[in-house]
Structure 1
Amino acid sequence: MTKFLISFPGSAMNIADEDMAAVSEAAHAVIREAKNAGVYVFGGGINGDVAPLMVAADGTVTNETYPQTREFDGGFCVLELPSREAAVLWAAKIAEACRCSQELREFGYDPES
């Protein structure tokens, strides 16, 4: 089984305030479905209210990020699935629930993880 990251940036969710409760319930329903199917690993949303930190190998902490991740926000989940085709189907379910396209990435195999 392979782990897949399914994610979207916060800016992709252009949802009217009055529709947000329905979107939230739909998204939670898909996650419950993934849990019931035994494919859910973990997921959540990046807390945009808490600034990221850069932690160096020597323990030095600075208030910065890598330039390419300055806008890293939104939601994600990791699912463990038998194939890329199955991952595409789950990503489509999440896209429908969240009303925005999802990015799909495959984790490389690591026997230690």
Structure 2
Amino acid sequence: MAKYLISFPAAAMQIPDGQRDTVIRESHAVIDDAKAAGVYVFAGGLDDRVPVVRVAADGTTTEGGYPDGPALDGGFAVLELPTREAALDWAARLARACSCAQELRVFHFDPAS
């Protein structure tokens, strides 16, 4: 089985007025279903109140992420699934619940990690 990252950037989530509680409830329900199905690894969002820093090999830090990279924010779920088709199904469920399209990526398997 492979681990899949299902995610979306914060800007993609456009919640219609008055629907915030519904979106939260429905997205949590999908995560609860993933837990019940035994495919849940972890999920959540990055805390944007904590500043991002880059840490060099010598331990020095620089404020901010990589300047040329995309902002890493929004919501994330990691699920362990038997097939890409199963991952696409879970991504579609999260897209419906969160009211925005999801990006799907698979983690490269490294037996040493």
TM-score w.r.t. the length of structure 2 is 0.95
Unaligned runs of 5+ in 1: none
Question: What CA distance in whole angstroms lies between the structure 1 residues aligned with 2:35 and 2:68?
Answer: 32
1:110 matches 2:110: yes
Question: What CA distance in whole angstroms lies between the structure 1 residues aligned with 2:16 and 2:47?
Answer: 20
Say which SS state the counterpart of residue 19 (structure 2) adopts.
helix
| Higher mean C-alpha displacement, 70-79 vs 27-36 | 70-79
1:64 matches 2:38: no
1:78 matches 2:84: no
Say which SS state the counterpart of residue 104 (structure 1) adopts.
strand
Shift of 1:99: 0.7
Shift of 1:16: 2.9
1:99 matches 2:99: yes
Shift of 1:69: 3.5
Say which SS state the counterpart of residue 67 (structure 1) adopts.
coil
Question: Matches of residues 3-82 of structure 1 in structure 2 within 5 Å?
Answer: 3-69=3-69, 71-82=71-82
Say which SS state the counterpart of residue 69 (structure 1) adopts.
coil
Question: What CA distance in whole angstroms lies between the structure 1 residues aligned with 2:47 and 2:17?
Answer: 19
| Higher mean C-alpha displacement, 43-52 vs 24-33 | 43-52
Q: How many residues align?
A: 113
Computed over aligned residues only, the root mean square deviation of the Cα atoms, in angstroms, reads 1.1
Q: Would you identify which runs of 4 or more consecutive aligned residues in structure 1 move more than 6 Å?
A: none
Say which SS state the counterpart of residue 27 (structure 1) adopts.
helix
Q: Which whole-Å deviations, capped at 9, do the CAs of 1:73-99 have from their partners, x for residues lacking one?
A: 100010000000000000000000001
Residue type of the alignment partner of 1:98: C
Say which SS state the counterpart of residue 43 (structure 2) adopts.
strand
Say which SS state the counterpart of residue 97 (structure 1) adopts.
helix
Report the structure, 1 or 2, having the larger helix content: 1
Residue type of the alignment partner of 1:50: V
Shift of 1:17: 4.3
Shift of 1:62: 1.4
